[in-house]
Structure 1
């Protein structure tokens, strides 16, 4: 029996970042600078979130990636993020989560009909709030928030939601595009909310950045509804793969340059001489 061309017991790669752009950039550069096209497993931990529930990004990385995705006829970052959290619906709802859920219920049949091949089994946010069974009519997010608001000291294992459903998703089909995200959990701490997500596999080129953005937006929504800051997002990926584009593709160059600029240490500030030193120099 031929052994797979990978380490039998690989150590996790841990990436610490201050933004989703930095996390994506460090992951991409690691792939580009090492043999192969997989990282298994990959663990990301991201902080640096502000108090206003906005998700900071590096526009250079986002712009370069969206341009590359467009040239390869792939969905842009916002479209991928929308599968995990519909940020534009949350903006339309103006802070009313009941309206957010209502907007999504109205829109989901359209998403499924528009792309039955990709969305026929569902979407991540649909599984989180329309799972099909359970309390709150299967709305796992509403259940978590309602229990968080109900009383203090509730067990922390209650704050988790699943997207994988064995009844629907255990299949012998060779390739399935959904669901790769298995579950999410939310941990309120004294510093704020820590969100955790687990992927069995993840496509680094056309999905990863949108995944990170959608997860951060979901976590920011939950933190907002809990009335606490978002302090950290952790993402564990069993196998992260760079597929559907070659590492040697020349079209990757602008994205690689943007990624390197994103992770480069800030240039040291030029120190101006003090007034007394300038005066001394003029007298000399």
Structure 2
């Protein structure tokens, strides 16, 4: 089994290091099991590198990285929203239209966070619950690592009994595909004694070229938003992939991964 743990400062460095760990002569399939990528500053990345990677992605017919990131956190909409509740309301109103876009017919990750399809038939807003619980716990005398954002429920009814920190994406009994949405299974939030919120995300599979960089961006922005709204500091992001694969045009990717590509001005 090929596995690794990466710890880097920002999204770009973490993604490049993880890809290079997969692109090895002794790993002809360029795959890994239970890989771990830890990002100390998950809201930071190299804009020039991202633009170069985007050009390569678009040439392959893939969405821009900002589009991928927005499925996890719609940053521009959040900037125009007065509160988490306002953000959730606005996104829910837009959600039917968003799901008409190619690739979104089963929904988006952020859509599941603010409009989870519970057994009652109504969409449940989970984002505000997480922020509220973090605020309450941070104001108390005991601050501990006890904030689970569980994206995989055993039954739809679990959402009704879950604590305020549970964010569910996977809908049991409905999301039965072996591949495709949702690959993100679980997010766990931890609040440390320095009042920083850390996140760990578990993916059942992760395609490094197609999705990972954009997912890192989106998860980092989601974490930062939750922390900011709870008046806490943004901590580290850790992403665990049950199965990771370096996909895409590897010959064209390698100059980016080795730093020999001519970046855009």
Question: TM bucket by the smaller chain?
Answer: 0.7 to 0.9
Matched, 1:27 2:18: yes
Q: SS at the partner of 1:125? A: helix
User: Within 5 A, what are the aligned runs for 1:61-76?
Assistant: 61-76=49-64
Matched, 1:92 2:63: no
Matched, 1:119 2:104: yes
List gaps (5 residues or longer) in structure 2. Answer: 149-162
TM-score normalised by L of structure 1: 0.76
Corresponding residue number in structure 1 for 2:41: 48
One of 101, 123, 134 as aligned partner of 1:148: 134
List gaps (5 residues or longer) in structure 1. Answer: 1-6, 50-54, 263-284
Distance 1:87 1:258 in 2: 29
Shift of 1:156: 3.5
One of 152, 158, 162 as aligned partner of 2:168: 162
Shift of 1:133: 2.2
TM-score normalised by L of structure 2: 0.81
One of 185, 190, 193 as aligned partner of 2:188: 185
Deviations 1:25-84 (A, max 9, x none): 1012222334321121210111136xxxxx111123211110101111100110000110
Distance 1:40 1:18 in 2: 23
Paired residue total = 239
Corresponding residue number in structure 2 for 1:138: 124
Shift of 1:101: 1.2
Assess, with a 3 A threshold, how the Cα gap between structure 1 residues 113 and 31 changes in structure 2: closer, same or farther.
Answer: same
| Higher gyration radius (CA) | 1
Distance 2:119 2:91 in 1: 19
Distance 1:259 1:202 in 2: 25
User: Within 5 A, what are the aligned runs for 1:1-284?
Assistant: 7=1, 10=2, 12-34=3-25, 35-36=27-28, 37-48=30-41, 55-93=43-81, 95-115=82-102, 118-133=103-118, 138-150=124-136, 152=140, 153=142, 156-157=147-148, 158=163, 159-171=165-177, 176-191=179-194, 192-243=196-247, 245-248=248-251, 251-258=252-259
Root-mean-square deviation over aligned CA pairs: 2.5
- Return the structure number with greater helix share: 1
